């Protein structure tokens, strides 16, 4: 802002500029208006906040969805595959179907069992 500090006469415009410059509005101190750089920073942060809010909502939606039963037991595998228990044990031994053993119990990924069934037909 260009201010004229000439003699004694100030126009209303110049006085309004001075009051704004020093943060005086109706006798109260206010924050100066943001500069162009500050405006762009605020705008950028608002966009980032909006994006973060969207990500949080997506994560909340993902957490509230009921997960699929990914891991199944030997009994459930035998219902899907037309094999006996001993054949399934051989598949484990030969590493034909991936599995996990947790506390002595064997679990298979349902996806792997179904893919194996599809490929062996």
Q: How far apart are CA 112 and CA 71, in angstroms?
A: 10
And the tokens for 1? Answer: 């802002």
And the tokens for 61? Answer: 């939606």
Render each residue's pLDDT in the chain as its tens digit; 121 residues: 554 545 455 555 555 555 555 555 555 655 555 566 788 888 888 889 999 999 999 888 877 776 666 899 999 999 999 999 999 999 999 999 999 999 999 999 999 999 999 998 6
Any idea what the Cα angle at residue 22 is, between residues 17 and 23, rounded to 5°?
A: 95
Whether 1 contacts 14, CB under 8 Å: no
Does the pTM exceed 0.85? no
């Amino acid at each position: 802002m260009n201010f004229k500090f000439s003699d004694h006469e100030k126009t209303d415009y110049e006085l309004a500029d001075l009051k704004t410059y020093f943060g005086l509005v109706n006798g109260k101190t206010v924050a100066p208006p943001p500069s162009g750089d500050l405006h762009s920073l605020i705008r950028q942060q608002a966009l980032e906040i909006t994006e973060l809010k969207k990500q949080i909502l997506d994560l909340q939606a993902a957490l509230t969805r009921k997960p699929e039963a990914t891991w199944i037991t030997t009994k459930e595998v035998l219902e899907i595959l037309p094999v006996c228990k001993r054949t399934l044990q051989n598949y484990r031994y030969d590493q034909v179907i991936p599995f996990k053993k947790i506390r002595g119990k064997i679990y298979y990924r349902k996806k792997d069992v179904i893919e194996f069934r599809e490929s062996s037909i």
